[in-house]
Structure 1
Amino acid sequence: MKIHLILFASSDTEQKSAAMVKSFDSDIRPVQGDIIDDPGFDAGFHNGYEVVKVTINYESEECLVSLSPLAIEVQEIKLETYVEKLLTYGWRELSNQEFAQ
């Protein structure tokens, strides 16, 4: 099954936000309450994200996994820096068109 991890990050002080996604094939399907770890998550700021919602489409064999949002003000890192780190580890930013679907 194709798994799509979705992470929302925002910064009120910077007036910016980003919706990030990382996709991969897996036989393991996350469930609400699981903690997802990824090398793109900076251990100094966040060492895992809780799964808050799972949506399964059996017809397309896809699973959308929404992770708890990240509020940058709580962390000591700029949004742009965090997004760059995620991009380095295979995440990509969702386009406005993808986000609207």
Structure 2
Amino acid sequence: DHNLLADLGFAGIEKNCPNAILPFKKPHNKELTQLQKQVNKAIGSARIKVEHAFSGVKRLKIIRNKIRLKTYQVRDRVFKIAAALHNLRLCYRAIQNQP
């Protein structure tokens, strides 16, 4: 089984996906408990890595804009190429930053 980390924009997803992990929403006129704040911070720190990867892939205009390619296979291949270029950029940066 896989867990799905989501933000509060996906509230209600837990009905269809029991493995969804959502942050706690602040109650009206109340504060979150310290434990709830820690859970929210842990969820956010795990999600930010994925969000940064998506933004790195979306640097390519063909991914950022609406893809008008006809078949799923072609769109899938374009996204894989974009992900590979993003990974190549990360590897190049790691090599450049070595002492």
**Which one has a bigger Cα radius of gyration?**
2
Highest RCO, 1 vs 2 (Cα 8 Å, sep ≥ 6): 1
Same fold by TM-score, threshold 0.5 exceeded?
no
Name the structure with the higher strand share. 1
TM-score normalised by the chain length of structure 1: 0.25
TM-score normalised by the chain length of structure 2: 0.25
